Amino acid sequence: MTVSGFTFNAFSENTYLLHDATGQCVVVDPGCYDKAEQQALRAFIEAQGLRVVLLLNTHCHIDHVFGNKFILDTYDVPFLIHEADLATLRAVPTYAPSYGFAQYSPAEPTGFLTPGTPVTFGTTELEVRFAPGHAPGHVVFYHAPTATVIGGDVLFQGSIGRTDLPGGDYNTLIDSIRTQLLTLPDTVTVYPGHGPATTIGAERQSNPFLR
């Protein structure tokens, strides 16, 4: 599996495309808000000859869902989140204008993720791990063969997700990190929702929030 990343919107959010040798592609957390960002994502997909088959959200805060409607309108694919984050997703239109994003268009999921039930595309299988604390329905996606985690806003390089937003809880987040991420091998690369990639081993050794 190949991970291709893009940084979009005023929150510097990381959007990921997951694709394999079959050419099938999954979009995770599309943060593309304006037409230029949308076109950049679509141009890459077309240039690589990818076929989008699925849209996933690790969680549903505003910066991670800007592009949901664009992806659904463009590619007409299933859209999955954890059911516990449905209220988070539906709250976005109520506050988007106050953040300066009056053009946000909401989208409803077509189904829900179940931790322990894998997500598959092409020849790839992703393990779904439930990791609340930053958001009540946060999940991460683990691909063991390439030692890769798409981690959303749970664990960052030298930091962790904020817990002062509705549905956040510090102790829950730390427990999620310890049980769902630090149980993975040190060599696993974490692709976070903001900032550079890191590894489980590096964060286990030096992250000040995990000491």
- Count of alpha carbons within 13 Å of 75, Cβ hemisphere only? 24
How far apart (Å, rounded) are the C-alpha atoms in residues 87 and 188? 31
pLDDT for residue 77: 98
- Are 198 and 190 in contact by the 8 Å Cβ rule? The answer is yes
Tell me the pLDDT of the chain averaged across its residues.
98
Strands (E), the chain: 2-8, 13-19, 24-28, 51-56, 79-82, 111-113, 119-121, 124-130, 139-143, 148-152, 155-156, 159-160, 189-192, 198-199
Residue 16: CB atoms within 10 A of its CB come to 23
Ranges in the chain, pLDDT < 70: none
Q: Provide the residue ranges of all domains of the chain, joining segments of one domain with +.
A: 2-210
pTM of the model: 0.97
- Are 80 and 121 in contact by the 8 Å Cβ rule? The answer is no
Q: How would CATH label the architecture of 2-210?
A: 4-Layer Sandwich (3.60)
Q: Which long-range contacts (CB under 8 A, 24 or more apart) does 91-99 make?
A: 91/166, 92/60, 92/61, 92/62, 92/65, 95/62, 96/62, 99/62
What φ, ψ does residue 151 adopt, rounded to 5°?
-105, -5
Q: Which helix (H) or strand (E) holds 93?
A: helix 86-95
- Are 161 and 133 in contact by the 8 Å Cβ rule? The answer is yes
pLDDT for residue 211: 85
pLDDT for residue 184: 98
